[in-house]
Copies of this chain bind each other. A is one copy, B any other.
Amino acid sequence: MVHINNRFLDLPGSYLFSEVARRVSHYVSQHEGERVIRLGIGDVTQPLTPAVIEALHKAVDEMGCADTFRGYGPEQGYEFLREAIVENDYRRRGIEIAPDEVFVSDGAKSDTGNIGDILGLDNRVAVTDPVYPVYVDSNVMAGRAGTYLGDGRWSNIIYLPCTAENDFVPALPAERPDVIYLCYPNNPTGTVLTREQLKMWVDYALCNDTLILFDSAYEAFIRQDDIPHSIYEIEGARQVAIEFRSFSKTAGFTGLRCGYTVVPHEVCARDEKGAKVPLGSLWNRRQCTKFNGAPYIVQRAAQAVFSEQGAKETRSLTDYYMRNAALIRTKLQTAGLQVYGGENAPYIWVKAPGEISSWCFFDRLLSECNIVGTPGSGFGAAGEGYLRLTAFGSYEDTLEAVERIENWKL
């Protein structure tokens, strides 16, 4: 009798975004003619930039010609892209990363979801709360989460609440985790860690033999000089941290699919006998066995992001969204709402007024302003009472949305 992986049945049935979609679709069907503005899902709206488009066309032509056609590429990514990443995302910030520590992929979701393949099932996992659901769900599937306690919590996961009360800075855990996921700039709260706050985590990991899985998919949105873009800006991080990056939000690649994972040579974990094993060799084996590399044309597009012209265009793109973020922040504050994030990240975390719940706030915003957000409680128990708005809409839509909120009788 063939068996399923029973852990899948432990996952709660309704997804956050499908429930949001259901409520929006129901509302729209009942209110024809009303224009609903969607600031819920974190998907970009602006097109790929000219340098990226040009690189794609050129690479497509190469693929149509026998002399320049490329079949299977290296599973780890082409050297031209790994070197561009090392040079532009790291060396320019004074960080030394070797090209063979960079593993190019089809996106940070795949990598953060698949990284568990190389880790033992007995590892204890910690996450901040609220949190990007992939970290938790992929561990549920693998069997590391324990039993579901309701309220988005699992018996074997260590939760580190991030709320206005602790200024969204997670406290060090009382119980030692083997693995901790950190995402900064943070999805969903849009908050960041200072260098000192991040150093606290690296030091903790060094002292406690803990692996940090650091998701910096939103680093391109950092505007303050003293906020670290990479965990490797912190001394000692090469020994304890794997970093995940993405071109999705940086350069509008959500529909083009490219990201990468950095596994420094020093990052190790223990085998059954207690010996240290470099995680880079395991990740390499995992990728060679279950992945065949990102498309050549997409890797050329990613390379173009680092060209002089590409870098300028990409900066304009993130500036465009950060103008939206500033607009949302300011106008919502003027309207008397408490808002967080949005200064170094494309997300704004809004406190629901008058102690109402996330879903209640969501429903009121939808029905009274025709604006779609994402209920904070969907990201974890500590997200209850908050709502996430994204800066990824068009400027015009964002402007109209905040004007509606300004005129809203809260």
Contact = CB atoms under 8 A, between A and B. Distances in A.
B141 A286 contact: yes
Nearest to A259: B292
Given A60-B56, A138-B289, A295-B298, A4 B65 contact: no
A197 interface: no
A63 interface: yes
A314 B303 CA distance: 30
Contacts of A118: 4-5, 8
Interface in A91-114: 106-107, 109-110, 113-114
A66 B50 CA distance: 12
Contact of A43 (B46, B72, B210, B394): B72
A64 B43 contact: no
Contacts of A44: 71
B120 A270 contact: no
B4 A282 contact: yes
A185 B187 CA distance: 46
A155 B3 CA distance: 20
A119 interface: yes
B47 A63 contact: yes
A217 to B, nearest CB: 12
Interface stretch (A249-257, A322-330, A372-380): A249-257
Q: How many copies does the complex hold?
A: 2
B113 A3 contact: no
A312 interface: no
A113 B292 CA distance: 11
A257 B295 contact: yes
A337 B178 CA distance: 57
Nearest to A60: B56
A290 B255 contact: no
Given A72-B255, A109-B290, A255-B296, A210 B57 contact: no
A110 B295 CA distance: 13
B56 A6 contact: no
Interface string A280-309: 001001101111111111100000000000
Contact of A295 (B53, B256, B277): B256
Interface in A28-55: 41, 43-48, 50, 52-53
B270 A3 contact: yes
A73 interface: yes
A362 to B, nearest CB: 20
B290 A1 contact: no
Contacts of A209: 1-2
Given A255-B295, A298-B295, A3 B271 contact: yes
A141 B11 CA distance: 23
A373 B387 CA distance: 59
A123 interface: yes
A66 B45 contact: yes
Interface string A338-371: 0000000000000000000000000000000000
A269 interface: yes
A72 B254 contact: yes
A211 B290 CA distance: 20
Contact of A107 (B41, B122, B274, B292): B292
Contacts of A48: 63-64, 69
A6 to B, nearest CB: 5
A60 B63 contact: no
A174 interface: no
A3 B275 CA distance: 10
> 5 closest pairs, A vs B, by CB?
A113-B290, A3-B120, A53-B64, A43-B71, A71-B254
Given A15-B288, A297-B297, 13 more contacts: A2-B269, A46-B66, A47-B65, A47-B66, A56-B297, A63-B256, A71-B254, A106-B106, A106-B291, A107-B292, A109-B290, A109-B292, A256-B295
